[in-house]
Amino acid sequence: MKHVLDITDLSIEEIDSLIATAMDIIKDKEKYQDICKRKKLATLFFEPSTRTRLSFEAAMLELGGSVIGFSSASSSSSSKGESVSDTVKVVGYYADIIAMRHPKEGAPMAATAVSDVPIINAGDGGHHHPTQTLADLLTIHREKGRFNNLTVGFCGDLKFGRTVHSLVNALSRYTGIKLVFISPDELKIPQYIKTDIIEKTGMPYVETRTMESVMPELDILYMTRVQGERFFNEADYIRLRDYYILTPDKLENAKKDLCIMHPLPRVNEIARSIDKDPRACYFKQVENGKYMRMALIMMLLGGA
């Protein structure tokens, strides 16, 4: 039995295989429509979500399986004081696989100690979000056709943005990647990501506060929302939330084939007028996420 807590729980070969399966699903959806018949996915979401929860549920339904679960801690017995471990142990009697989101870093890992079914981390605090990374990787594959030799800019809340941490981790396993971190000082990429991942692999990186100066060299611009829910101080959030707003004038010197990504939800950090730009890939990420979650569910259920 395999759990996916962090993107490195999947080897490069397994990611390649998930991408190949997702591409095949895109070509021939009917082939997969009964593959998880009589299997159940439980979505245990202790924190709000639109994309991750609904795409997991859509993925399982499109594989012919069923879905149970809850969408907030308040609608589960955790509101009565039940532990995550007991919740997961109990749900293992009802479901074949669990996707779990929790505001506390490490909660899905703690759940694996008692779980009799595979656990997928659907986002834990400011830590990891491996299935968003799978969506991101399929998007990069479809847009760029490669994972090597790319200059990738990450912009916004790089401190709390778990999707950034997971994607940096994933990219660290490829060659020729250059990272450009664009953030205010207060929201810089955490030191442990630099020490444990970037510096260990020797990936070149730069840190800057301005988007315009680095725009011409980027192949990918990964915008992020300032994560208000993780701030301790509302005044800081208000001061920083609109620090970067991507508007068409900021793209004047960008590459013609720049890929603009965002895990969503978006607040103000990408102007709506960018949505019409052919370089905007954030809604493609949403679609790709469902296909990668279908491929992952099948892999973890042993081909179902």
Q: Note the residues at the interface with ligand CP (CB under 6 A).
A: 49-52, 123, 132, 263-265
- Which H helix or E strand runs over 126? none
Q: What is the residue whose two structure tokens read 């499109």?
A: 62
When the beta carbons of 121 and 132 are compared against ligand CP, the nearer one is: 132
Kindly name the residue from 101, 102, 162, 194 that is annotated as catalytic.
Answer: 101
Please, what is the minimum distance in Å from the beta carbon of residue 42 to ligand CP? 16
Kindly name the residue from 21, 52, 87, 133 that is annotated as catalytic.
Answer: 52
DSSP-derived pairing of the beta strands 119-124 and 66-70: unpaired
Distance CA(44)–CA(97), nearest Å, equals 11
When the beta carbons of 51 and 241 are compared against ligand CP, the nearer one is: 51
> 10 Å Cβ neighbour count for 38?
10
Contacts of 201 (CB under 8 A, 6+ apart): 172, 173
- Which H helix or E strand runs over 226? none
Distance CA(106)–CA(270), nearest Å, equals 31
When the beta carbons of 255 and 284 are compared against ligand CP, the nearer one is: 284
Please, what is the minimum distance in Å from the beta carbon of residue 63 to ligand CP? 19
User: In this structure, what DSSP letter does residue 19 have?
Assistant: H
When the beta carbons of 137 and 214 are compared against ligand CP, the nearer one is: 137
Distance linking the first and last C-alpha atoms of the chain:
13
> Active-site residue 173, yes or no?
no
> Active-site residue 101, yes or no?
yes
Q: How distant is the alpha carbon of residue 142 from its chain centre?
A: 17
Q: How distant is the alpha carbon of residue 300 from its chain centre?
A: 18
Let me know: does 8 contact 2? Beta carbons within 8 Å: no
Please, what is the minimum distance in Å from the beta carbon of residue 53 to ligand CP? 6
> Active-site residue 52, yes or no?
yes
Distance CA(246)–CA(267), nearest Å, equals 11
Please, what is the minimum distance in Å from the beta carbon of residue 52 to ligand CP? 3
Kindly name the residue from 53, 129, 141, 225 that is annotated as catalytic.
Answer: 129
> Active-site residue 80, yes or no?
yes
- Compute the Cα dihedral for 78, 7, 224, 231 and give only its sign: positive
Nearest Cα to Cα of residue 45 among 116, 1, 113, 98 = 98
When the beta carbons of 37 and 283 are compared against ligand CP, the nearer one is: 283
Please, what is the minimum distance in Å from the beta carbon of residue 49 to ligand CP? 3
Please, what is the minimum distance in Å from the beta carbon of residue 246 to ligand CP? 17
DSSP 167-203: HHHHHTTSSS-EEEEE--GGGPPPHHHIIIIIHHHT-
- Which of the residues are catalytic? 51-52, 80, 101, 129
